[in-house]
Amino acid sequence: MPHSPEIARLLDGLNPAQGAAVMSEAMPLAILAGAGSGKTRVLTRRIAHRILADTANPSRMLALTFTRKAAGELTKRLGQLGVRERVATGTFHAIAFAQLRQWWADTNQPAPQLVESKMRLVAPLVHTRKSNAVQPVDVVSEIEWAKARLIRPENYAAAVSAIGRKPPLGVEAMAAIYTRYESEKKKRGIVDFDDLLVLCVQALETDREFAARQRWQFRHLFVDEFQDVNPAQYRLLEGWLGIEPDSEFAEGTFDLCVVGDPNQAIYAWNGADPRFLTQFSQRFGSAEVIRLDDNYRSTPQILTVADAVLGMGQRESRPLRANRPDGIVPTVTEYASDLDEARGIARAIRDRQSQRRPWSQFAVLTRTNAQALLFEEAFRAVAIPHRVRGGGMFLAQPEIKNALGELRRSPGNVPFASRIVDLDEMVAEALASGVTGAEGTNERAGNLEGLVRLANEFVGIDPTGTTSSFLQWIGGVITSRADEPDRSANLVEITTFHRAKGLEWPVVFVAGLERGYVPIGQADNQEAWDEERRLLYVAVTRAEQELHCSWAKTRTFGSRTTSRNRSPWLDNVDAARNASERPTDGDWRAQLRAIRDRAEAAKAAGVPGIRGTRNAHIQIGTNADPKVLEALKKWRAAKSRATGIPAFVIFHDTTLAAVAEAQPGSHAELLALPGVGSVKVERYGDEVIAVLAAHQASLTQAS
Ligand code: ATP
Ligand code: MG
């Protein structure tokens, strides 16, 4: 049957396997595929397809994600696909909270307050102990883990012993703190963020009318990044689907589509369990599982590194097939110190940034949040506009505080939807005020826009919600780990491996690849170690065109400077780099190597140095003589003016850098370079070689 034009358009830009995944009528459906294989693309198109084919009502659909950022991204992509209707998107917590609030209101129960700071509650419980060795933050995360695994305080000790888990302090002591934490909350009538999931499950299980209403409201469910679902979230999902608690196997149709990649499972430490994804077909009788093997994000050279990082025997699926053109071989740089690393990367970004390569195309990824600081300083010093993703800073911004204050002063019981226009006005005012920061970005307006997006998200989940409901909701959602600022501004992003999940940038710097960070020091067992490895896989697979890895030989913590060792996985990266550089017939890399070897030989023989040689750790183009590059750029600019052809079409910057570095002396040598085809050689070859020759002549004269 021929498709309608709209549906044909949806299938446009999908390969057959992706198309099949979009069109499949299976319920439930799981899509298991590697990084950059188009899972999120398929998920959004599938949602759009259901709407266009009229097999689902958009206002009854719910797309679940693990961060608000991801939820926003889904909404954006749906808009681009021409889906005008609002599809509810949100995190498990946000949806659960919205449903619970409704339930509390409908059943005349007082809504409990949310714990403002778990740390403040836990710290006194920890400090009554003699030992100061244990950090409250570790105890908090252990409690979070237990709650994610649906382990009650009374079962905690048994559960932990059964799996041989090592808590931050003795099992019994930990169980005691967990018990007291729970009773303390109960006493004060407050709940924490993780309780929301369990409370919502309980409401679904005990109040049939409530359950029926929620199942009617959201009856078509979609989940992205399903490898990171934890038992509490999964149980809630089952509750929404109407699956009996504790059932091992679900028979029948369930309108659920999940996508994920077991190789990117990085939240086991936090209670997630990728088996919900990998054993999907064992749980659902009628499940279909589709796999995708093509990668559309990264160059073959980056994928080779990614594959090596995962290592043989580690991966859960076949290696990905590359679909992008060849790119530069990823680099590994060793820096003398952490400061040098930050400055070196700042310089590298400055050098690469251009009109065609705006700041927003770069990201620096680190294993821990704290590593961001050095980069912030280094970037500030050389005026690189940047942003650190994450943190709970959003609500502390003055304009946000102000806006929420205004909402708070207004009547709380009116439908909140009518207030969004006021927020829009604040954005307009901020924009009109013209207060701009670095590179013309208006942070105030940007933050307020973030607030408007949140407001819309809230209204999508709860169309009749009131202003005070919104204020309560935002307080809960924002202080969560899911807090993610907007990404559209032209800034270099500094973020952690964890937060980078699902995202992509043309140029990615993965920094601090040292033991202690990668893998993290706490990883003292095989499972933790494997998770660290997958985490690095997530980091390197964010890169589209360039991947630059680095580590520092010394690092300063406070007043103490320590020497550091390379991450063991840098060996995998190096092996992959070597494989990418190994000569193969007709391969430009082989030819390039031949050129380099000749240059080396000439240099060794004392022939006046002309040809660039390459440092084994530095990528082609980065070693270019700036004078040569300048001469080539001048030529290109003149050519562009004369012909009306845009400069980057004549030769891309990276190509020009490669030319400047290799300094080819013939058409064949020029043709051997990445980004140079026969048409270009024919059109520009003689002139380029002439520019290089003129430069060499000037050198000879000078010496
Ligand atoms: P991750 O595992 O990192 O979340 P993913 O599998 O969700 O990755 P997407 O983000 O959906 O992958 O896609 C990766 C990139 O490839 C995106 O830029 C997307 O637009 C592009 N892409 C996906 N499929 C195709 C295709 N068939 N043709 C061209 N580009 C594609
Ligand atoms: Mg994705």
Q: What does the H/E/C string look like for 109-153?
A: CCCCEECCCHHHHHHHHHHCCCCCCCCHHHHHHHHHHHHHCCCCH
Range in 286-300, 575-589, 605-619 with the lowest mean pLDDT = 605-619
Going by alpha carbons, the residue nearest to atom 27 of ligand 1 is: 14
Residue 664 DSSP symbol = -
Atom nearest to 14 CA in ligand 1 = 27
Tell me the mean pLDDT in the region 551-570.
88
Ligand nearest to the CA of 540: 1
What pLDDT shows up at residue 556?
A: 81
Burial of 37 (0-12, 13-18, 19+ CB in 10 A): buried
Helix (H, G, I), strand (E, B) or coil at 449: helix
Q: What is the pLDDT of residues 359-400, one digit of tens each?
A: 999 999 999 877 887 898 899 889 899 888 764 456 666 778
Substitution candidate for ligand 1 out of 10, 40, 290 with most atoms within 8 A of CB: 40
Order of strands, sheet of 220-223, starting from the edge strand that comes earlier in the sequence: 88-91, 61-65, 220-223, 256-260, 29-33, 288-292
> Which pLDDT band holds residue 70 (cuts at 50, 70, 90)?
confident
DSSP β-bridge partners for residue 516: 520
- Judge whether residue 25 has pLDDT over 80: yes
Ligand nearest to the CA of 38: 1
Reported in sequence order, the residue ranges of 167-227 that DSSP labels E, i.e. its strands, are 190-191, 220-223
Give dist(CA 209, CA 254) in Å, integer.
Answer: 20
Atom nearest to 541 CA in ligand 1 = 3
Angle at CA 16, nearest 5°, toward 14 and 21? Answer: 80
Name every residue whose Cβ is closer than 8 Å to that of residue 535 and which is 6 or more positions away in sequence. Answer: 266, 367, 497, 498, 518
**DSSP letters of 545-574?**
EEEEEEEESEEEETTEEEE--B-TTHHHHH
Q: What is the 3-state secondary structure (H, E, C) of 331-394?
A: EEEEECCHHHHHHHHHHHHHHHCCCCCCHHHEEEEECCCCCHHHHHHHHHHCCCCEEECCCCCH
Name every residue whose Cβ is closer than 8 Å to that of residue 579 and which is 6 or more positions away in sequence. Answer: 304, 308
Atom nearest to 296 CA in ligand 1 = 16
What Cα–Cα distance (Å) separates residue 149 from each residue in 48, 144, 273, 663? 33, 9, 9, 60
Task: Give the Å distance between the CA of 294 and the centre of ligand 1.
Answer: 9
Q: What is the pLDDT of residues 243-278, one digit of tens each?
A: 987 777 888 889 999 999 999 999 998 899 999 999
Q: What is the pLDDT of residues 473-495, one digit of tens each?
A: 777 665 433 334 455 678 999 99
Protein residues whose CB sits closer than 6 Å to any atom of ligand 1: 13-15, 18, 33, 35-41, 261, 264, 296-297, 502, 504
Sign of the Cα pseudo-torsion (648, 653, 656, 662, in order): negative
> Which range has highest mean pLDDT (316-320, 433-437, 541-545)?
541-545
Task: Give the Å distance between the CA of 147 and the centre of ligand 1.
Answer: 33
What pLDDT shows up at residue 621?
A: 65
Atom nearest to 18 CA in ligand 1 = 27
Q: What is the pLDDT of residues 81-136, one digit of tens each?
A: 877 777 888 889 889 999 999 999 999 999 998 887 787 788 888 876 555 567 77
Q: Which two tokens stand for residue 633?
A: 């750029």
- Judge whether residue 642 has pLDDT over 60: yes
What pLDDT shows up at residue 144?
A: 93
> Which pLDDT band holds residue 436 (cuts at 50, 70, 90)?
very low
Task: Give the Å distance between the CA of 533 and the centre of ligand 1.
Answer: 22
- Say if CB 235 and CB 283 are below 8 A apart: no
Ligand nearest to the CA of 296: 1
Mean pLDDT, the chain, integer: 84
What pLDDT shows up at residue 75?
A: 82
What pLDDT shows up at residue 483?
A: 38
Give dist(CA 677, CA 148) in Å, integer.
Answer: 55
What pLDDT shows up at residue 455?
A: 84
Give dist(CA 281, CA 446) in Å, integer.
Answer: 43
> Which pLDDT band holds residue 341 (cuts at 50, 70, 90)?
very high
- Judge whether residue 585 has pLDDT over 80: no
What pLDDT shows up at residue 331?
A: 96
Range in 30-44, 179-193, 442-456, 592-606 with the lowest mean pLDDT = 592-606
Tell me the mean pLDDT in the region 504-532.
92
**Direct distance between the N- and C-terminal alpha carbons of the chain, in angstroms, rounded to an integer:** 75
Tell me the mean pLDDT in the region 26-49.
94
Atom nearest to 292 CA in ligand 1 = 6
